[in-house]
Amino acid sequence: MGNKSSPNASDDSNLSVQLDFQQTVNNFFMQASGIFCVLKGTDYVFELANPSFLRFFGQRELIGKKLGVVMPELTKEVFESVLNKVYSTGVTHTDAAMRFLFSQPGSAPKEAFANLTFQPLQNVNEEVIGIIISGYEVTEQILARLKVEELEERMRLAVDISNIGIYDYNILTKEVVSSDIMNKILGINPGLPPDGYAEMIDEADILKLKEMFGKALETGQFDYQFRMRMNNGEQKWIQTTAKVFYNDGGQPVRILGTLKDITESRVAEEKMATLAAIVESSEDLILSKGLDGIVTSWNAAGERIMGYKAEEMIGQHVSKLIPADRLQEEDEIISRLKKGERIEHFETERIRKDGRKIDISLTISPVKNPRGEIIGASKIARDITNQKSTKRQVSESEERLKIVLKASELGTWELNLKTGEIWASERYLQIFGYESVGDLMHDDFIRHLHPDDLPVREKAFKTATETGVLHYVSRLIRTDKIIRWFEARGTVLYNEANEPYKMLGTIRDMTTEMNYRRELETREQKFSLLADSMPQHIWTSDPEGNMSYFNQAMYDFSGMTKDQLDPQGWLGLLCAEEKETNRQLWLKAVKTGELFKMEHRFRRHDGQYRWQLSRALPQKDEDGNIVMWVGTSTDVHDWKIFTDQLEEQVKQRTKELQESNEELSKLNNELAQFAYVASHDLQEPLRKIQTFSARILEIEKDRLSDKGKDYFMRLQNASRRMQQLILDLLAYSRANTAARHYEPVELASLTDGILEQLKDTIQQKNAVVEVLNMPTMHVVKYQFEQLFTNLLTNALKFSKTDEQPRISITCVVVPGSGISISGIDPKQSYYHFSITDNGIGFEPEYNEAIFQVFKRLHGKDEYPGTGIGLAIVKKIVENHAGFITASGELGKGARFDMYFPVGE
């Protein structure tokens, strides 16, 4: 069996070649810019019609319908007679300018022309079974011969309308729901399980199909062709396209897809023959090539466009047509094709056989084999040399006109001087207050002119008939009774007898401009009155810095007249030593457009130089261009003298403050040393009091009265409280003044150590302490030990006697924008420590006071302590750039929230 091939191998190969070719011509059909359609039978039933055909003849539902039903207007023209002639004789007919007249509701009939070729469509027995119509629209060339429009973008038209089956596969339940068409294609009954389908797959495709299915579960898409064996032994080629759906957890749960029978080779052959005929009748060059650039097909239009016949190009490399300076284009095209990209309307140059370069528009599509592998490309090339030149000229003219009209907001009009009929643009109608022109005549628009301006209009029209140029400015009364100003300009056209027969022109709404002129005049008057009444010196200059206006205060100050002051402005009033520096700074501001601000001295009329603060701001138009400078000069001489004196006093006060700060720093150091020494010296007599009182109680207890014993007990308690107070004061002092050594600290280990130290108290109170999510922070370790010790001791101390104590310490990272505390940086992240308990709590009014030194909310006998512990906590938090808040509710526990910057 080593050299034997499958009996179907040749058929499969031929079918693959046919499908490749079919895909090539199919790509052309969907992308072609020319007019194409296929009519079948003597009733001329539409089998195919591309987008260009629909655009030319009007968008309608055509496929499967008779020509006489969907386009009855064509049966009354030469069109149907040409169809009959071609169908009966089998001879191709070409009409370079076939005329059509389309009726359009609500408007005049549309006249159009097309260059069409009517070619008989034959079956394999060479019998005429239909007609292929191809060509392109030439309306603009016939009617205007001035404009060239490129045909609409090539669009795909689906030509394969074969039956498609649908299925829904539930991956979790292994259930398959199939449509009737799918069951019919496969010859199965509904409800067939997945294993039943697997048994029908051809053995040669099982492994590949499993591989594709596995990839589909990852990518979400499934598109594959394979063979299946029917129950009757028939083999069918099946194409399936499906999408995978996933649940919220990303697990594939469902596959929804389509299934199609693609074994109808006869249909493929007929379609291939039809499309091949279309390709050969095309006015565009259509070629196909492999990924190696070798041309594999070349249609008849190629000889007309490039000068080469098919036998001269097939087997040649496509670079034969490419200029040397554009060879890199082919590498780029191949690279994009390999990625599956389609290239549309790519304009470039190519070399004809005679060596002449022509402009070409290329549309390039990848060609795939039945397994979806890209094996080559199909190209459609159109000679756009003439169109490109004409289009460029038309486009430039139209663009210039559009820019002018849009920028000036002009309304355009055409007036028939013989009939009085007028055509007006949308902007023209807007100016007069109309939504549409309707049946209005020129006299209707004249009635809108302001009665006082009618003589102006009559004089302008009389002058226009003599000179050929119209121009006047007038007011009009709109349809909504609003009065507006407009400017009209026009040109008179003359016939061969030199008689005026038409006038073309524009109108421009000048209301804003006229109002602006009036408002500007009023503002200038107000500005002058206001400026002259102000004691400040006010002045203006042009964009180049030449001063052009001064208020009266400037003339009064300088004692100069307008002619004396104008040449230099305030520059002429400056001290000689300041003049050049000031001039350079002023010119720099003028050049950069930045604020001008300067303190300098002006010479008063009595010869005294006085300090002035001058400021000037540029005034800009809507485009940001400087149109003028407006400046003020304020006499600050007295203030300047006072400021100089004040600055001297500030310097003296600053020196005294520095000396005070140094003295205060020295006192603080001495106070810290005193507190440390005092705390140690005070503890020594306290220890002796505690020691000797304890020994007296132990030795003399039998001789002491109960009252004496009570006094000694009170003495010991007082000394212990005094000792604790000294220790707390020392700790508070250390929190304020001690050197701080910051280091990375694992707070989980630190809190574990604290809990071990408090183990006896925790067990005694049967407390539950929970510590979660402790981070590693850069802190002063001994201070954080004291911080958590104080907070935990506090929570244990103020627990309830009738309820098991529960204490929780947690930490999370939160954004500063979500913390409502003054001083928090909203752009910074923070460690948020929360310490909560279910103890006796406190009133909310003490939320702030609880952190004060010596602040106690309970009696010393009820809850022992010095009232310094929470003050120390707050100081440690502040030492670490943190924030702390307290909240409580009497009988329901307390809560402390601490926030430390992440990274601190």
**Domain over 164-263 is classified CATH 3.30.450.20:** yes
Work out the burial of residue 654: count CB atoms within 10 Å of its CB; fewer than 13 is exposed, 13-18 middle, 19 or more buried: exposed
Closest residue by Cα to residue 772 from 721, 734, 812, 820: 812
- CA distances (Å), origin 756, targets 437, 686, 760: 95, 29, 8
Say yes or no: do domains 34-143 and 164-263 share a fold.
Answer: yes
pLDDT recorded at residue 158: 31
pLDDT recorded at residue 745: 92
Assign 149 a pLDDT band (cuts: 50, 70, 90): very low
pLDDT recorded at residue 438: 63
Lowest mean pLDDT among 289-303, 437-451, 767-781, 826-840: 437-451
**Beta sheet of 469-477, edge-to-edge order:** 422-424, 410-416, 500-509, 483-494, 469-477
Assign 155 a pLDDT band (cuts: 50, 70, 90): very low
Assign 16 a pLDDT band (cuts: 50, 70, 90): low
| 221-229 and 175-178 beta bridge pairing | unpaired
Mean pLDDT, range 236-248, rounded to an integer: 89
Is residue 706 pLDDT above 60, yes or no?
Answer: yes
Is residue 147 pLDDT above 70, yes or no?
Answer: no
pLDDT recorded at residue 146: 38
Is residue 2 pLDDT above 50, yes or no?
Answer: no
What's the angle, vertex CA 426, arms to CA 483 and CA 101, rounded to 5? 150
In whole angstroms, give the CA distance from residue 526 to residue 517.
Answer: 14
pTM of the model: 0.29
Specify the fold of 409-509: Beta-Lactamase (3.30.450)
- The arrangement of secondary structure in 267-389, i.e. its CATH architecture, is 2-Layer Sandwich (3.30)
Assign 370 a pLDDT band (cuts: 50, 70, 90): confident
Lowest mean pLDDT among 383-387, 421-425, 495-499: 383-387
Q: How many CA atoms lie within 13 A of 380 on its CB side?
A: 24
Q: Is 596 left (phi over 0), alpha (psi -120 to 50) or beta?
A: beta
Place domain 739-901 in its CATH homologous superfamily: Histidine kinase-like ATPase, C-terminal domain (3.30.565.10)
**Domain extent listing, the chain:** 34-143, 164-263, 267-389, 409-509, 515-635, 641-713, 739-901
Q: How far is CA 477 from the centre of its chain?
A: 46
For 725-740, b where at least 16 C-beta lie within 10 A, e where not — what string? bbebbbbbbbbeeeee
The residues that bridge with 901 in the sheet, in sequence order, are: 830
Is residue 363 pLDDT above 50, yes or no?
Answer: yes
Lowest mean pLDDT among 236-240, 374-378, 522-526: 522-526
Specify the fold of 34-143: Beta-Lactamase (3.30.450)
Lowest mean pLDDT among 107-111, 675-679, 807-811: 675-679
pLDDT recorded at residue 5: 45
pLDDT recorded at residue 899: 95
Is residue 163 pLDDT above 80, yes or no?
Answer: no
The residues that bridge with 254 in the sheet, in sequence order, are: 170, 245
Is residue 154 pLDDT above 50, yes or no?
Answer: no
The beta strand positions in 23-182, using DSSP E, are: 35-40, 45-49, 93-102, 110-122, 128-137, 164-170, 175-178
Assign 426 a pLDDT band (cuts: 50, 70, 90): confident
pLDDT (tens digit, 9 = 90+) per residue, 564-621? 877 678 888 888 888 888 888 988 988 898 988 888 888 888 888 888 888 989 988 8
Q: Which of 35-49, 279-293, 534-548, 646-660 has the highest mean pLDDT?
A: 35-49
| Token pair of 506 as six digits | 């524009």
Mean pLDDT, range 229-248, rounded to an integer: 88
Tokens 């470039």 belong to which residue? Answer: 348
Is residue 240 pLDDT above 80, yes or no?
Answer: yes
- CA distances (Å), origin 13, targets 23, 455, 780, 876: 15, 88, 81, 85
- The arrangement of secondary structure in 515-635, i.e. its CATH architecture, is 2-Layer Sandwich (3.30)
Q: What type of residue sits at position 792?
A: L
Mean pLDDT, range 669-695, rounded to an integer: 65
The average confidence (pLDDT) of the chain is 80
pLDDT recorded at residue 270: 55
Contact status, residue 55 vs residue 71, Cβ threshold 8 Å: no
Is residue 112 pLDDT above 50, yes or no?
Answer: yes
Greater confidence, 267 or 54?
54
pLDDT (tens digit, 9 = 90+) per residue, 725-783? 565 556 555 555 545 678 999 999 999 988 998 888 899 989 999 999 999 999 988 88
Spatial CB neighbours of 458, under 8 Å, sequence gap ≥ 6 = none
Mean pLDDT, range 23-52, rounded to an integer: 80
